Amino acid sequence: MNKSLFLATMLVSSSAMAMEALPMSPPIPADNPMSDAKIELGKQLYFDPRLSIDGTVSCNSCHNVMATGTDSRPTSVGIDGQRGGRNAPTVWNAAFLSAQFWDGRAATLEDQAKGPPLNPIEMGMPSEKAVVDRLKAIPGYKDQFNSIFGKVSYDNMAKAIAAYERTLITPNSPFDLYIKGDKAAMNDKAVAGMKLFENIGCAGCHSGANFAGPKLPIGQGFYQKFPANDSKYTAKYDLKADKGRYEATKDKSDMHMWRVPTLRNVALTAPYFHNGSVNTLPEAVRVMSKTQLNKTLNDKQVEKIVAFLESLTGEFPVQTMPRLPDTSTTSLVGTIK
């Protein structure tokens, strides 16, 4: 067991059972304070397909904030119709996670945002310089970067996107209202499901305000082995083909370790698991209880837990569309066929 896992396990033992409402604002890093101008720039960048080599893929393509913050697909589609290897995690409430990506290989939202533009399967830009050159060629971006950061840079691009993502929070789910005292906000089945969720052990890992583990310092991910137990599901859903965090660290103690994902809005983010292999939430609940807790739930128990998970769907804020700054008389992606 590596050190961070050991620490995380200690924390779980002491804090798992206290359920928490979602805070109205996430942690803000000292080196990337929020401002309206930065958030607005980040929103433009988030929606801008010119961050991909051929102008077809934006952050929003796979993390659709008009919907669930995902693409509702098993794995995502990048440039040239290429398929990625893992299911797109939702961007909603990602600001509360202490590590990003399924394998936690990025400590912060800023680090995460630097990945996809350069990934050859996703957005396919050849280098940080190529991204920066393109941003500099768009007068509206150049002006905003200069005003907010003093210059266009790849790091500053990531800071702006991360600032925008920190606004993507879904408070006031039925569960949150219930925890804050409105006992009518959850129906009886959902309340029964919540108790079952605690009693059988789901809350051992899916704890904290984001149901993604205890509060940890940013950069310190909360990981668990999945599947913890082999069962018929291992083969049926091909759960072990991907070695998880081991792929990033090559540390044997990370074999099949995964960052515990949030359960906020989980009723909307099908299909499930790192490979998107399970298409419905009831089946995902069955798989998890078997593989992680070695328990076989009956249909009534599954229904109750699903009712509880549905109560974690929050309020999605109304947003204005960004205007993507233009290039006049020429297209930056127009010569690439």
Residues at the interface with a second copy (CB under 8 A) = 47, 49-50, 54-56, 61, 64-68, 71-74, 77, 79-83, 267-268, 270-271, 276, 279-282, 306, 310, 313, 316, 318-324, 326-337
- Residue 5 neighbours by CB distance under 10 Å: 18
Nearer to a second copy, 183 or 337 (CB): 337
SS3 (DSSP) at 129: helix
Closest CB 337 distance from a second copy, rounded Å: 6
Clarify whether 122 is annotated catalytic. yes
Nearer to a second copy, 8 or 196 (CB): 196
The answer to whether 62 and 68 have CB atoms below 8 angstroms apart is: no
SS3 (DSSP) at 5: helix
Residue pointed to by tokens 């893992």: 86
Nearer to a second copy, 169 or 268 (CB): 268
Closest CB 7 distance from a second copy, rounded Å: 34
Q: Which entry of 110, 122, 283, 310 is annotated as an active-site residue?
A: 122
Closest CB 280 distance from a second copy, rounded Å: 5
- Residue 180 neighbours by CB distance under 10 Å: 10
Burial class of residue 17 (count of CB atoms within 10 Å of its CB; 0-12, 13-18, 19+): exposed
CA-closest candidate to residue 5, choices 207, 219, 220: 220
Tokens at 152, concatenated: 């266009």
H or E element that contains 223: strand 223-225
Closest CB 80 distance from a second copy, rounded Å: 4
Closest CB 59 distance from a second copy, rounded Å: 13
Nearer to a second copy, 130 or 267 (CB): 267
H or E element that contains 259: strand 257-259
Closest CB 273 distance from a second copy, rounded Å: 11
DSSP-derived pairing of the beta strands 257-259 and 223-225: antiparallel
Nearer to a second copy, 148 or 285 (CB): 285
Torsions phi, psi for 223 (to 5 deg): -115, 150
What residues contact residue 232 under an 8 Å CB cut-off, 6+ apart? none
What Cα–Cα distance (Å) separates residue 9 from each residue in 30, 96, 222, 226, 256? Answer: 28, 19, 9, 15, 17
Nearer to a second copy, 216 or 309 (CB): 309
User: Which residues are known to be catalytic?
Assistant: 122
